[in-house]
Chain A
Amino acid sequence: QVQLQQSGPGLVKPSRTLSLTCAISGDSVSSNSVTWNWIRQSPSRGLEWLGRTYYRSKWYNDYAPSVESRITINPDTFKNQFSLQLTSVTLDDTAVYYCARISVAADDSFDIWGQGTLVTVSS
């Protein structure tokens, strides 16, 4: 079955860059029928979709307006994974971060989730 395994530091200093990786097993980052997403959750913001990457003959990205100037999501076809980079973090970026898959077969729904990574922004 499809599984997503997240990795990355749980503590980031203010103004630095948050970096997380999501390793995919049981599916391909280059699949034409899925998108690969990052979502975060905090008490103040609830569940917040951050952005996605996907392949449809070429690579595409979409980002949430709230983070568009600071976010990059990149696929890694060699390692079959995708990553999140969020620059210039502040205390407000403290949250649990999830990677998640959207499958065409699941009607545009997040059908597979990573285990979540608590990222704390603190000096």
Chain B
Amino acid sequence: SSELTQDPAVSVALGQTVRITCQGESFRSYYASWYQQKPGQAPVLVIHGKNSRPSGIPDRFSGSRSGNTASLTITGAQAEDEADYYCKSRDSSGNHYVFGIGTKVTVL
């Protein structure tokens, strides 16, 4: 079983806000990074560190952390945001990486 817990699926109306959460004790020490994956494609980094976006990622994507929970928020979801989203952190040893099971975001 994964050390990171994500809800399997969430839906959001077009233009509305959705928050995707990821729970894990590692977040008390490390920031999450978040990845967007569309069918047949490799994952793409959307959020890293405290709340940083790589070049080309829209500013409607933001990240936060509180206690053992990391969150990815999409403010004003667009149709192209429909995808699977994965969180990533380190395992309990701190030497390896682990991913959440992914949250499928559906934009209605």
Contact: B96 with A108, CB < 8 Å?
no
Query: Is A11 an interface position by the 8 A CB rule?
Result: no
Contact: A113 with B31, CB < 8 Å?
no
Name B35's closest neighbour in chain A (CB-CB). Answer: A110
State which residues 58-108 of B face A: CB under 8 Å.
86, 88, 90, 95-102
Query: Is A47 an interface position by the 8 A CB rule?
Result: yes
Query: Is B15 an interface position by the 8 A CB rule?
Result: no
Contact: A46 with B54, CB < 8 Å?
no
Contact: A110 with B88, CB < 8 Å?
yes
Cα separation A49 to B33 with both chains bound (whole Å): 14
Q: How far is the CB of A63 from chain B (nearest CB, A)?
A: 8
For A, the interface residue count at a CB cutoff of 8 angstroms equals 19
Contact: A109 with B48, CB < 8 Å?
yes
Query: How extensive is the interface on chain B, given as a class?
Result: 20 to 34
Contact: B102 with A113, CB < 8 Å?
no
Name B30's closest neighbour in chain A (CB-CB). Answer: A108
A114 CB contacts on chain B under 8 angstroms: 42
Question: Which of A47, A64, A107 is in CB contact (< 8 Å) with B48?
Answer: A107
Contact: A49 with B96, CB < 8 Å?
yes
A65 CB contacts on chain B under 8 angstroms: 96
Given contacts A62-B96, A65-B96, contact A110 B43 (CB under 8 A): yes
Sorted nearest first, the 5 A-B pairs with minimum C-beta distance are A107-B49, A109-B33, A109-B48, A47-B99, A49-B97
The chain A residues found within 8 Å of chain B, CB to CB, are 37, 46-49, 62, 64-65, 98, 106-111, 113-116
Can you report 26 A-B residue pairs in the complex whose CB atoms are below 8 A from each other? A37-B97, A46-B2, A46-B100, A46-B101, A47-B43, A47-B86, A47-B88, A47-B99, A49-B98, A64-B96, A106-B33, A106-B48, A106-B49, A107-B31, A107-B49, A108-B48, A109-B33, A109-B45, A109-B48, A109-B49, A110-B33, A110-B88, A111-B45, A111-B48, A113-B44, A114-B42
